[in-house]
Homo-oligomer: A and B are copies of this chain.
Amino acid sequence: MDQRQEDSLLISEADLQRLALQVLQHLGLSPDHAQAIARIVVAGQRDACQSHGAYRILSAAQTIRTGLVDLQARPLLQPTQGAITRVDAQRGFSPWALEVGLPPLVATTRQLGMGALVINHCFHFTALWPEVEMLTGQGLAALVMTPSHAWVAPAGGTKGVFGTNPIAFGWPRPGPYPYVFDFATSAIARGDLDLHRRAGTPLPEGVGIDAQGQPSTDPAAVAQGAMRTFGGHKGSALATMVELMAGMLIGDLGSQESMALDAGAGGMPCHGHLVLAFDPQRFAGEDWPAHQARAEAMFAAIKGQGARLPSERRYAARALSAQQGISLPRKLHDEILALLD
């Protein structure tokens, strides 16, 4: 879905950051919120991750119109207890809350070997990979998960219980690009379902069910029914784990509950978020460089047979953006500018 074509323009990272900041503040967000969100959406656009790039400014505007999100909410950092750092986002967007919680999470992880950052009562806004990369950039491994809205049926069922419930993992590598994966536990991403719906193209077989519980490739029917999990009962089990760990464990909403809270307003989900971090220097000890080199040998064994590592396409786009600027679809640029009217 790269749009580096004549219907796109090139914009510098600084200019896109400025534009995003201006629009987000115009929408009523406090400067801290606007800056944190802008950094995330610029990173997404830079990596040609269209579904989590500048497009998300439009999603933010839609969520703001529901009136549910507190645009001035100050994230409340609670004193770290044991390995657990907790930030109450107080019904604001998540990126600023994450930035507030990150330093104590990193400190705890270095001290204890592992740590958890719990974010409560946030409108989770972003892909998970930028969060993971904030931790790999500190030399830590990270495992991140979050629920969403109950659009996804359990294996063997027909009605939505789970969110798309993404899981992301990161591992620090020498050089600029960590090992990172970030995927939905649903068989198709919600954004891809929306793209099919808008384009009027059928879904792949096996990813959705209509409201009558029958398999369907009609994106509108599946939007009324439910998506399936990826990988059958195994994906369904992982989606359950995300509900439990990033929902009930941290005393926050599951996907059914956050959907009920939204009450059909069409906003983003409001719920919790769980970030786990691991310090390889504490786990592997002083031999960590040797063990990290063994991980590199495994990556070489994967790539040496022609397979790809996740995120490679993002990193290639990032390198291209650094050379020539960030590609932004003109239509999206116009829609973002229209928010200033």
Contacts and interface: CB of A to CB of B under 8 A. Distances in A.
A17 to B, nearest CB: 30
Oligomer: number of copies: 2
A249 interface: yes
A128 interface: no
A323 B327 CA distance: 67
A158 B305 contact: yes
B248 A292 contact: yes
A284 B245 CA distance: 10
Given A291-B251, A298-B161, A231 B235 contact: yes
A250 B284 contact: yes
Interface stretch (A3-11, A93-101, A113-121, A262-270): A113-121
Interface string A180-198: 0101000000000000000
A254 interface: yes
23 contacts: A82-B111, A82-B112, A84-B114, A84-B282, A114-B115, A116-B278, A116-B283, A141-B249, A156-B308, A159-B301, A169-B241, A179-B244, A181-B237, A183-B237, A230-B234, A231-B232, A236-B307, A243-B298, A244-B295, A247-B294, A248-B294, A251-B287, A256-B301
Given A247-B294, A251-B287, 13 more contacts: A114-B116, A118-B283, A157-B306, A169-B241, A171-B241, A181-B241, A230-B231, A244-B298, A248-B295, A248-B298, A249-B284, A250-B284, A256-B301
A302 interface: yes
Interface string A284-306: 11011001101100100110011
Q: What is the size category of the interface that chain A forms with chain B?
A: 35 or more
A280 B295 CA distance: 32
Interface in A141-190: 141, 143, 153-159, 161, 169, 171, 179, 181, 183
